Amino acid sequence: MKVLCVAEKPSIARSVSTILSGGQITTRNTADKYVKNYDFIYAARNANYTVTAVRGHLFQHDFPDGYRKWSSCEPFDLFDAPIETMVSKDCKGIERNLMAEARGAQMLMIWTDCDREGENIGAEIVQVCRKANRNIQVKRARFSAIIAQQIHRAAQNPVELDWAQVHAVEARIFLDLRLGAAFTRLQTLRLQGRFPELDLKVVSYGPCQFPTLGFVVSRYEQVQSFRPETFWYIYLAISRNVNGRNEETEFKWRRGHLFEAPVALAIYELVLETPMARVTSVKKKSVKKWLAEGLYQRGFLSYPRTETDQFDPNFEFMPLIEKQAVDPAWGAFATGLRNGGFATPRMGKKNDKAHPPIHPTAHAGNLAGDEKRVYEFITRRFLACCSKDAEGWETTIEVECGGEEFFTSGLSVLARNYLEVYPYDKWGDRHVPDFAEGETFMPAVCELRDGQTTRPALLTEADLVSLMDKNGIGTDATIAQHIQTIVDREYVMERMEGATKYLVPSTLGIALVDGYNKIGFDKSLSKPQLRRDTEREMVRICEGLKSKEDMLNEAIEQYKALFVKARGDFDLLIQHLRVSLSLAVVGEEDQHQAVEEAEVAEAEAEAGEEEEEEEEEGEEGVVEEAVVEEAGEVLQARTALLLVPNRLVHRRLSRLTTLMKASYATRLSIPLHANLMRQNSSTSVSSLHANHPRDQHLQRNPLHRVRG
C-alpha cells in the first residue's frame, strides 16, 4: 500500500514527514525547486508514505479566446463569458510531480491548511492526481497544529473533502474575475483617449482594491474639510503640602469637554457658587500590565507575513532562554527567568500552523546596526513573553465640587517583571497624595479653560491595515498586496514622515472615488459592503444553506445592474476627473498651502467681524449684556443637548439662566470673560492633556484630538 500525502506548502510537508516517519526519511528532489518528496514507512499503518506539497493554488482562471483581447468583446459580456481553468504556468513542475507520484499510489491524502482556501487547493490537487490515476482513493487529514499527537491523529482518522467549502471558494474566484475584469476594462477604455495622461495606464477595479482606496480617500477628505472647534472644560487642582513642599494634583472633569461655551460657563458658574470640594470615593486596586495584549496583537512580530502568535504546548523555552544568559544587557534577566521568574507565554489568537512565533535560536553578540537592533528587539520580546506580568497598585480618587464630578488616579508599580527587559513598553509611577473619603478642601485652581480640536492625521499604513482587517477586505496574506496595488495604479502615494508611512490619495484616486459617489449606487463600489456580501454568501454555501449556482446567479445580476448604471452615467465620472486632473497641475504641496491660506483668510475675516461688532457696541458693559443675552438663549436651546443630560443639570441650568441675566457681569472673573470673548487658548491646556492622553478623544468626532 502506498499513500501519497500532499501539503499546501513545502514547510508543512517537511514537518509532517518528520513526525510520521520517526526519523527514517528518504528525500527526493522534484522539478519544482522548492518542493521535495519525502519517502518513509509509516509504522502505525505499516504502509509506504510519500509526502509532497504544492505552493498554494495550482490553477489559474481566465476567459477564453474571443474574450481575452480587450477589443474582442463588450466588457459587459464578461459577466456571462465562459471561464477556463488551467494549471498555472509556474506550477507545471508541481503538476508533473503530483501525476507521477499518484500513478503508483492507492490513496491520496490531502494535508492542506484547514480553511476554505485549503479545501479548494485540496480539490485542485485531487483533480490533477486523478488525471494520472482515475481510481485513487481520496482522503483528507484534519489538523490545526504541527504537534506530533495531532498529526498522528489526523493521519489515522482521515475525513472527506468538504465540497461545500470548495464550491464557496470557486464562486468567489469567478465573481472576482468577472467583476474585476469588466469594470477594469470599462474604466480603462473609457478614460484612455479622453485623458492623455492615462494613455499608458490600466485603471483597474477590484472588490478589495477599491474599498482600500476608499479608506484612503475618505480620511484625506476628513483632513481637508476639518475646521478647528473650540471646546471648554473645567480645570480643577488642589495643592497639598507633602514633605514640606507644595504638590499640585489635577483632577479631570467627568464631563470631559463641552463644545457649547454658554453651557460650560453656566456649569462653571455653579461650581464657583459652592467651590468647596469633597472627596466622594477613594478606591485602590491591584492592576497588571500584560505584554501579550499589546505585542501579540500588533502582528509585526510574527513570522513570516502569515501570522502566528501561539507557541506549541510542547515548545522548549528553557534551552533558548539559557542561551541568552551570557548577554551583557539582558543576560541577568534571562538567568532570573531560569530561577523562578518564568511564566508560560499567553496564547495569541492566530496560528498559521507552519511557524512558531519568531524567537532567537542562539545568542548573537557580534551584530551591528539594524541587524543588532532587530535581534535585540526580538530577543527582548521573547524573554518578556516568558516573564510575569508587571504588577501595580492603582488609586482612583473622585471628588465632587459644586455639583460636578472630577477624578484623578495614581499608580505605583510594585513589580516591573517583564518591563525590566522590555523597555519598549512604558508603565511608570504616577504619584497622587493621600486622600480620605469625605475629606473636603478648597481647590487651589478652579478655572474654565478652552482648547481646540486638531486636524486628524492622514491615514497611516498601520491604520489602513487595521481598517481592512476590521472590514473583511482581503486576508492576512493579501492585505499588503492590495495596498501595493493602489500604489502601483497611482491611486495613492506613500509618504514617509520619520518612521511612519502615510497614504495620500492622488487626484486620480480621489476623482475615481468621488466620481463613483456622484453616480450613486445601491452599494458603493468604494465601500466594504460588496465584499462583506461575498463573504457572507460564501459562509452560507459552506453551511449548506445555499447552492453555488444560486449565489453566482444572484451576485452576477447585482453586478450587472451596477455595471449598467456605471456605464450609463460614466460621463459624470469623466467630468469629475476632468475637473480634478486639471487641478493636478497645481502641485500637491501648493494645494495644502492653498487650503491653509483659505483657512487663515477665513479666520481673519471672522476676527474682523468681531472687532467691528465691538467697535459698534462701543462700551464694554454693553458687550457683556449682549453676551449674557445670547448665552441665555443658547443655553435654553441647548439644555436638552447636553452631553451628559440629567434632571439635576436641567434644574440647575434653568435656574441659572435667570441667575446669569441678573448677575453675570459682577460674578465672573475678568480673565474668564476675556477667554469667552476672544476665544484665546489658555496656555495650560496643553500641559493638562499631555498628562492624560487617553482623554484626547473628543465627543464630536473621534478623529479630532486635543492639541497637546
For the annotated catalytic residues, the residue numbers are 303
- Residue 63 or 664 with smaller CB distance to DNA: 63
How many angstroms from the chain centroid is the CA of residue 619? 55
Q: Is 475 in the site for DNA (CB under 7 A)?
A: yes
- Residue 59 or 231 with smaller CB distance to DNA: 59
Total of chain residues touching DNA, rule CB under 7 A = 57
Q: Which amino acid is at 512?
A: L
Pick the stretch among 369-377, 434-442, 480-488, 619-627 that binds DNA (CB under 7 A).
480-488
Phi and psi of 451, rounded to 5°? -155, 180
- Residue 186 or 236 with smaller CB distance to DNA: 186
Identify each DSSP E strand in 215-366 by its residue range. Answer: 230-242, 245-253, 277-289
Q: Which of 5, 16, 20, 91 binds DNA (CB under 7 A)?
A: 91
CA distances from 280 to 241, 400, 531 (A): 21, 6, 51
By C-alpha distance, which of 652, 657, 666 is closest to 621? Answer: 666
The C-alpha atoms of residue 568 and residue 557 are separated, in whole angstroms, by 17
Q: Which of 113, 119, 260, 389 binds DNA (CB under 7 A)?
A: 113
SS3 157: coil
What one-character-per-residue DSSP string does 475-529 give? -TTTHHHHHHHHHHTTSEEEEEETTEEEEEE-HHHHHHHHHHHHH--SS-TTSTH
Q: How far is the CB of 28 from DNA (least distance, A)?
A: 17
Q: Which of 45, 57, 388, 430 binds DNA (CB under 7 A)?
A: 57
- Residue 184 or 682 with smaller CB distance to DNA: 184
- Residue 10 or 505 with smaller CB distance to DNA: 10
The full length of the chain comes to 708
Q: How far is the CB of 197 from DNA (least distance, A)?
A: 13
Q: Is 394 in the site for DNA (CB under 7 A)?
A: no
CA dihedral 401, 406, 412, 417 (to 10 degrees): 170
Q: Where are the alpha helices (DSSP H) in 230-368?
A: 261-273, 292-298, 318-323, 331-336
Q: Is 252 in the site for DNA (CB under 7 A)?
A: no
The C-alpha atoms of residue 566 and residue 182 are separated, in whole angstroms, by 11
CB 526 within 8 A of CB 210: yes
Q: Is 412 in the site for DNA (CB under 7 A)?
A: no
Pick the stretch among 55-63, 423-431, 436-444, 657-665 that binds DNA (CB under 7 A).
55-63
Radius of gyration of the CA atoms of the chain, in A: 33
- Residue 94 or 238 with smaller CB distance to DNA: 94
Q: Where are the alpha helices (DSSP H) in 33-106?
A: 92-103
Q: Is 176 in the site for DNA (CB under 7 A)?
A: yes
- Residue 92 or 278 with smaller CB distance to DNA: 92
Pick the stretch among 57-65, 307-315, 327-335, 698-706 that binds DNA (CB under 7 A).
57-65
- Residue 302 or 395 with smaller CB distance to DNA: 302
Q: Is 622 in the site for DNA (CB under 7 A)?
A: no
Q: Is 491 in the site for DNA (CB under 7 A)?
A: no
The C-alpha atoms of residue 562 and residue 554 are separated, in whole angstroms, by 13
Q: Which amino acid is at 366?
A: N
Pick the stretch among 56-64, 215-223, 415-423, 650-658 that binds DNA (CB under 7 A).
56-64
Q: How far is the CB of 125 from DNA (least distance, A)?
A: 12
Residue keyed to cell 467630468: 575
Q: How far is the CB of 638 from DNA (least distance, A)?
A: 46
Q: Which of 23, 24, 46, 69 binds DNA (CB under 7 A)?
A: 69
The C-alpha atoms of residue 280 and residue 297 are separated, in whole angstroms, by 38
Q: Is 71 in the site for DNA (CB under 7 A)?
A: yes
Residue keyed to cell 500637491: 588
Q: Is 114 in the site for DNA (CB under 7 A)?
A: no
Q: Which long-range contacts (CB under 8 A, 24 or more apart) does 323-329 make?
A: 323/360, 323/361, 323/362, 323/363, 324/360, 324/363, 324/379, 324/383, 326/363, 326/365, 327/363, 327/365, 327/379, 329/376
Q: Is 216 in the site for DNA (CB under 7 A)?
A: no
**Using CB under 7 A as the criterion, what x/- string covers residues 333-362 for binding DNA?**
-------------------x-x--------
Q: Which of 2, 11, 158, 572 binds DNA (CB under 7 A)?
A: 11
Q: Is 55 in the site for DNA (CB under 7 A)?
A: yes
Q: Is 567 in the site for DNA (CB under 7 A)?
A: no
Residue 318 CB contacts under 8 Å (≥ 6 apart), including other chains: 338, 342
Q: Which of 40, 111, 210, 406 binds DNA (CB under 7 A)?
A: 210
By C-alpha distance, which of 62, 254, 315, 90 is closest to 174? Answer: 62
CA distances from 701 to 453, 505, 681 (A): 9, 22, 20
Pick the stretch among 227-235, 442-450, 468-476, 492-500 that binds DNA (CB under 7 A).
468-476
Q: Which of 146, 181, 267, 397 binds DNA (CB under 7 A)?
A: 181
Q: Is 409 in the site for DNA (CB under 7 A)?
A: no
Q: Is 536 in the site for DNA (CB under 7 A)?
A: no
Pick the stretch among 176-184, 322-330, 404-412, 521-529 that binds DNA (CB under 7 A).
176-184
- Residue 91 or 125 with smaller CB distance to DNA: 91
Q: Which of 38, 42, 49, 63 binds DNA (CB under 7 A)?
A: 63
Pick the stretch among 133-141, 142-150, 168-176, 420-428 that binds DNA (CB under 7 A).
168-176
Q: Is 304 in the site for DNA (CB under 7 A)?
A: yes
- Ranges within 148-167 binding DNA (CB under 7 A): none
SS3 620: helix
What one-character-per-residue DSSP string does 409-461 give? EEEEEEE-GGGGT-TTS----B------TT-EE--SEEEEEEEEEEPPPPPBH
557, three cell numbers: 445580476
Q: Which of 15, 52, 184, 524 binds DNA (CB under 7 A)?
A: 184
Pick the stretch among 158-166, 204-212, 257-265, 459-467 that binds DNA (CB under 7 A).
204-212
Q: Nearest 5°: CA angle at 107, between 103 and 111?
A: 110
CA dihedral 410, 416, 421, 427 (to 10 degrees): -10
CA dihedral 91, 92, 98, 100 (to 10 degrees): -160
Q: How far is the CB of 36 from DNA (least distance, A)?
A: 11
Q: Which of 107, 141, 207, 465 binds DNA (CB under 7 A)?
A: 207
Q: Is 62 in the site for DNA (CB under 7 A)?
A: yes
- Residue 475 or 681 with smaller CB distance to DNA: 475
Q: Is 509 in the site for DNA (CB under 7 A)?
A: no
Q: Is 202 in the site for DNA (CB under 7 A)?
A: yes
Q: Is 10 in the site for DNA (CB under 7 A)?
A: yes
Furthest CA-CA distance within the chain: 105
Q: Which of 38, 40, 143, 205 binds DNA (CB under 7 A)?
A: 205
In the complex, which residues of this chain contact DNA (CB under 7 A)?
8-11, 34, 55-57, 59-63, 68-71, 88, 90-91, 113, 115, 117, 121, 172-173, 176-177, 179-181, 184-185, 188-189, 192, 202, 204-210, 304-306, 352, 354, 474-478, 481-482, 485
